[in-house]
Amino acid sequence: MPEKKSKKVKQNIYAKWGYLFIAPFFLVFTLFTLVPLLSTFFYSFFEYYSDNLDVVGPNFVGLQNYFRLFQEGRMFRYFGNTFVIWILGFVPQIILSLLLAVWFTDIRLKLRGLRFWKTIIYMPNLVMASAFGMLFLTLFAQNGPILSFLFEIGALPETFTIDSSVWGTRGVIAFINFLMWFGNTTLLLMAGVMGIDNEIYEAAAVDGSGAFRTFFQITMPLLMPIFIYVFITSLIGGIQLFDVAQIFTRGSGNPNTTSTTLIMYLNQLIVPSKNYGMGGAFSTILFIVTLGLSSIVFRYLVPQTTSKKQKAGRVKDENRYLPMNLRQFKKENRDGEVHE
């Protein structure tokens, strides 16, 4: 008991260092994120924009900016565009990433050059997204290498242009996104698959489970937490889609704003007219959407850290996704680990 007390006193001596070391983070976060965030909310209730050199406002207008956003319907159109482009990239990305993650971790396959493949698939993630957009704008130009090849083999009529094709433009933007992110997703899923106990696979193999069955009844359920993490973070990333679409459509969202994304709209509100009122209201809506999504991710991030009580809670959480028999199996297995 006295020993405990002295330890506590000792901790208190050091506590000030804890505050000191964490202070810069919170100071900067407050000044450069929290205050701007609050002022964004604040502006959303005002009519406040510039018309050439004249500044209109700030005049308090209540919720009028929000009503206008909902009435105009443009916002919904851009939500739709962003979602369509995201899903076009995400579906092939998750399928390929799951396949690669399973292949790369399959011991029986003994694939060679794993480090090489991993290096290659992750590479596009580091490429400047705006340069990626520019590169594909040039590659898909009327006289660029890709379209002239497709004209030559007769796959497309010569009247085709990429900026007049709705699905052509969306497809290219989605493809760039796919190329940039599938390597990252693969590596995340691989970490998840490698975390699954090998004994489960051995047991499944003994019971004569085929590759498909093993994947859908063992790998997928056990991978569910990390799968949801990947899904939601990708969705949040999708909402932020800007660089590629902005450069590839040259800021226009052509054809006919069918590839204008949410952040492109935000950019249009900020850049020419400094429309802090409408832009603020729009940012607030985006904030609420991402807050909802990130609170889902938060649930998966939190339990792996702190106290034992929460750790126990996490086991329960994780097993929620397991079929009954596996749940039992995993529990026994985990108990075994603890005793070791």
Partner 1 sequence: MNKTMNSEMKNISQPINNKTKKQKSIKRSLLIKRILIYAVLIFITFLCIIPFYIMIINATRASPQIQQGFSFIPGDQLVNNWNSMMSMSSIQVGRAVRNSLLISSITSFLTTYFSALTAYSIFMYRFKGRNFAFMFILFVMMIPNQISALGLVAIAYKINMVNTIIPLVIPAIASPVTFFYIKQYMESVLNKELIESARIDGAGEIRIFHRMVLPIMKPALAVQFIFAFVSSWNNFFLPSLILTDASYQTIPLIFNLLRSSNPATFDLGLIYMLLTVAILPLLVVYLLFSKMIISGLTAGSVKG
**Residues numbered 130-149 forming contacts with partner 1, rule: CB under 8 A:** 130-131, 133-139, 141-143, 145, 148-149
C-alpha 201/C-alpha 219 separation (Å) is 9
| Cβ(85)–Cβ(245) below 8 Å | yes
Q: With b meaning 16 or more CB within 10 Å and e meaning fewer, what string describes 116-149? A: ebbeebeebeeeebeebbbebbeebeeeeeebee
Looking at 2, 19, 52, 207, which residue binds partner 1 (CB under 8 A)?
Answer: 19
| Cβ(264)–Cβ(244) below 8 Å | no
Site string for partner 1, 166-195 (x = CB under 8 A): -------------x---xx--xx-xxx--x
Under rule CB under 8 A, residue 117 binds partner 1: yes
* From 62-70, 80-88, 108-116, 324-332, span contacting partner 1 (CB under 8 A): 108-116
Contacts of 72 (CB under 8 A, 6+ apart): none
Question: What is the residue whose two structure tokens read 């993630």?
Answer: 125
Tokens of 304: 């792996």
Tokens of 332: 């026994």
Residues 56-85 that bind partner 1 (CB under 8 A): none
Q: Up-side HSE of residue 49: CA atoms within 13 Å toward CB?
A: 18
Going by DSSP bridges, is the β-strand pair 46-51/54-60 parallel, antiparallel, or unpaired?
Answer: antiparallel
* From 66-74, 78-86, 128-136, 166-174, span contacting partner 1 (CB under 8 A): 128-136
Residues 270-309 that bind partner 1 (CB under 8 A): 270-271, 274, 276, 279-280, 283, 286-287, 290-291, 293-295, 297-298, 300-302, 304-306
* From 65-73, 76-84, 222-230, 331-339, span contacting partner 1 (CB under 8 A): 222-230
Site string for partner 1, 314-333 (x = CB under 8 A): ----x---------------
Which CB atom, from 90 or from 229, has the smaller least distance to partner 1? 229
Cα dihedral sign for 98, 100, 106, 108? positive
Question: Least distance (Å) from partner 1 to the CB of residue 94?
Answer: 15
Looking at 96, 200, 203, 220, which residue binds partner 1 (CB under 8 A)?
Answer: 96
Question: Least distance (Å) from partner 1 to the CB of residue 70?
Answer: 19
